Amino acid sequence: MLPGTTTEFWSYNRKVPGPLIDVFEGDTVRIRLDNRLSQETTVHWHGLPVPPEQDGNPMDPVAPGASRTYEFTLPVGSAGTYWYHPHPHEMTAEQVFRGMAGLLIVRSRTDPVPTAIEEKLLVISDLRLAADGTIRRTRRWTGRPAAKATTCS
Ligand SMILES: [Cu+2]
């Protein structure tokens, strides 16, 4: 992201932000997660009306090297713009800051967005990079102040 440097991201399908998931009310969504991180992760479907066991909550982690499939059907009335992100216990912030998040749009079949309206999807991050291009870490990922030994600058 900075000229002459390399920034390591963690991502869904090698994309930052993750791939757009664009579906309709009534659709059944089936997504496989292969955890290639060295820590637990989940995929949490932020704000979507999905069953608790499919919602990637911290009590349902996917271990490093393990896989699972999330599956849910989106009810009528759920149309909207959502995001998905990891939600492992105490590691959510780090995984999101490192790039793991994406958008999910649920469209209505009976009340579509008029085609005359141009859609622009924005994902805004407060990512900060150090001069060497690495993701800057000024606080612990939990949001608590960093210990002096790990504080940058
Ligand atoms: Cu969330």
Domain boundaries defined on the chain: 1-153
DSSP 3-state assignment of 129?
Answer: strand
Q: How far is the CA of 113 from the centre of ligand 1 (A)?
A: 25
Q: What's the 83 CA to ligand 1 centre distance in angstroms?
A: 7
Question: pLDDT tens across 43-87, in order?
Answer: 999 999 999 999 999 999 999 999 999 999 999 999 999 999 999
Please identify every stretch of the chain with a pLDDT value under 70, giving residue numbers as ranges: 138-153
- Residue 126: predicted pLDDT: 82
- Distance from residue 101's CA to the centre of ligand 1 (Å): 10
Q: Which residues surround ligand 1, an ion (CB under 5 A)?
A: 46
Residue 140: per-residue pLDDT: 61
CA of 37 to the centre of ligand 1 (A): 20
The model's pTM:
0.86
Residue 118: CB partners within 8 Å, gap ≥ 6? none
Task: Output the pLDDT for position 144.
Answer: 53
| pLDDT confidence of residue 145 | 47
CA dist., res. 44 & res. 33, Å (int): 11
**CATH architecture of the domain covering 1-153:** Sandwich (2.60)
For Cα atoms 80, 82, 84, give the angle at the middle one, nearest 5 degrees.
155
> DSSP alpha helices (H): ranges in 11-60?
none
Distance (angstroms) between ligand 1 centre and the Cα of 147 equals 27
- The CA distance from 33 to 120, in Å, is 27
